[in-house]
A and B are shown apart, each in its own frame.
Chain A
Amino acid sequence: MNSTITNHADAAIQFNLDEPRVDWHDKTLWFIREKRDLASHAIPEWEQLREYASQIKNNVLSNLSQYLQEFEKNAIANGVIVHWAADAAEHNQIVHSILKKHQIDRMVKSKSMLTEECGLNEYLEHNGIEVIDTDLGERIVQLAKEPPSHIVLPCIHWKKEEIGELFHKHLGTDKGASDPKYLTAAAREHLRETFLTRRAALTGVNFAVAETGEFVVSTNEGNADMGAHLADIHIACMGIEKIIPQQQHLGVFLRLLARSATGQPITTYSSHFKKPQPHQEVHIVLVDNGRSVHLGKEDFRNSLKCIRCAACMNTCPVYRRSGGHSYHNAVAGPIGSILTPNFDMRANKDLPFASTLCGSCSNVCPVKIDIHDQLYKWRQVLMKEGLGPTTKNASMKMMGWVLSKPSLYNISGKAARLVLKYSPFVVSNKLNPWYKQREMPAPPKESFKEWYKKNRG
Chain B
Amino acid sequence: MRVALFIPCYVDQFYPNVAIATLELLEKHGCTVTYPLKQTCCGQPMANSGYEHEAEGCSMLFAENFAGYDYIVCPSGSCTLHIKHHLHTEKNAPEEAHIRKTVYELCEFMVDVLKVDTINASFPHKVGMHQSCHGQRGLHLSQMSELNAEPYSKPGSLLAMVKDVELIQLDRIDECCGFGGTFCVAEEAVSGKMGKDRVADHVRHEAEYITGADMSCLMHMEGILKRQNSNTKVIHIAEILNGIDN
Contacts and interface: CB of A to CB of B under 8 A. Distances in A.
B148 A19 contact: no
A297 interface: no
Interface string B124-160: 0000000001100110000011111100000000000
8 contacts: A9-B189, A12-B187, A317-B194, A359-B138, A379-B50, A397-B54, A403-B41, A439-B226
Given A359-B137, A437-B195, A448-B7, A400 B179 contact: no
Nearest to B192: A437
Given A12-B189, A12-B190, A396 B54 contact: yes
Given A40-B148, A359-B137, A409-B40, A396 B49 contact: yes
Nearest to A354: B187
A441 B46 CA distance: 21
A362 B133 CA distance: 12
B148 A449 contact: no
B15 A452 contact: no
A433 B38 CA distance: 31
Contact of A356 (B16, B38, B178, B219): B178
Nearest to A434: B185
A25 to B, nearest CB: 11
A202 to B, nearest CB: 35
Contacts of B35: 448-449, 452, 456
Interface class of chain B by DSSP: helix
Interface size class of A (residues with CB under 8 A): 35 or more
Interface in A194-249: none
Interface string B190-221: 11111111000000000000000000000110
A360 B180 CA distance: 13
Tell which of B51, B144, B178, B227 has the most Cβ of chain A within 10 Å: B51
A400 B55 contact: yes
Interface of A: 8-9, 12-13, 15-16, 19, 22-23, 26, 30, 37, 40-41, 43-44, 46-47, 315, 317-318, 321-322, 352-360, 362-364, 376, 379-384, 388, 392, 396-397, 399-401, 403-406, 409, 413, 416-417, 433-434, 436-441, 443-444, 446-453, 456
Contacts of B184: 433-434
Given A384-B53, A403-B57, A13 B189 contact: yes
Across the A-B interface, give the 6 residue pairs with the lowest CB-CB distance, nearest first. Answer: A404-B57, A438-B223, A356-B180, A437-B192, A379-B50, A383-B50
Contacts of A22: 193
Contacts of A384: 50, 53
Interface class of chain A by DSSP: helix
B235 interface: no
A400 B9 CA distance: 13
B46 A399 contact: yes
Tell which of A23, A437, A440 has the most Cβ of chain B within 10 Å: A437
A387 to B, nearest CB: 9
B9 A321 contact: no
A37 B145 contact: yes
A356 B78 CA distance: 12
B45 interface: yes
A269 to B, nearest CB: 26
A397 B58 CA distance: 12
Contacts of B188: 9, 13, 433-434, 436-437
Contact of A441 (B23, B181, B219): B219
A437 B178 contact: no
A416 B227 contact: no
Given A380-B52, A441-B222, A406 B40 contact: yes
Contacts of A413: 9, 12-13
A12 B193 CA distance: 11
Nearest to A409: B40
Contacts of B20: 448, 451
B146 A315 contact: yes
B133 A359 contact: yes
Interface string B163-176: 00000000010111
B16 A363 contact: no
Given A437-B227, A444-B14, A383 B148 contact: no
Interface string B3-22: 00001010111111101100
